[in-house]
Amino acid sequence: MLYITRRDTFAASHRLHNPALSDEENARLYGKCNWTNGHGHNYVLEVTVAGEVSPRTGMVCNLATLKQVMRERVVDKVDHRHLNFDVEFLCGINPTSENVAVAIWRELELHIPQGRLFRVRLFETENNVVDYYGPAGCGIPGGPGQSQDL
Ligand code: NI
């Protein structure tokens, strides 16, 4: 099994706010990310595909095609947008990096050109990063939910 990763970037605004909490709790919990009018991050998205090398192409996954899929299904929809208001696939979601990573997984999972989606990694800042391996960790080799033939 090999793992191949395509990286892309986008800039977006968000506001983290849980209406079930008081304004004071939200401010304490989310800090700058709770500012009333939102604020921005320069996100880095890494998408990792797992698979075997095709004898015909010598590739696990054509990165040019993966780039195009990531652009069309995710990056073009979120770049220079407000994640709370402008993005259909994030509708109704409190856009923490955790929730955004899960939503990106769902956008990409069925559109990977070859191999299978293994990991969505989202940097919200240089120092804060979240990894999502799919429902019940099924992207992790030997993890729950992984079919026997992979
Ligand atoms: Ni923020």
Total domains, the chain: 1
Alpha-carbon gap, residue 20 to 18, rounded angstroms? 5
- Active-site residue, from 33, 41, 61, 107: 33
**25 part of the active site:** no
Alpha-carbon gap, residue 117 to 57, rounded angstroms? 19
The DSSP letter of residue 52 is: P
- Active-site residue, from 25, 52, 72, 80: 80
**124 part of the active site:** yes
Q: Is the pTM for the entire model greater than 0.85?
A: yes
- Pairing of β 81-82 and β 2-14: parallel
Domain membership flag for residue 146: no
Domain membership flag for residue 144: no
Domain membership flag for residue 82: yes
Whole-number pLDDT of residue 147 = 46
The CATH number of the domain holding residue 116 is: 3.30.479.10
What would the pLDDT profile of 58-99 be if each residue is shown by its tens digit?
999 999 999 999 999 999 999 999 999 999 999 999 999 999
72 CA → ligand 1 middle, Å: 24
Domain membership flag for residue 20: yes
Domain span at residue 115 reads 2-137
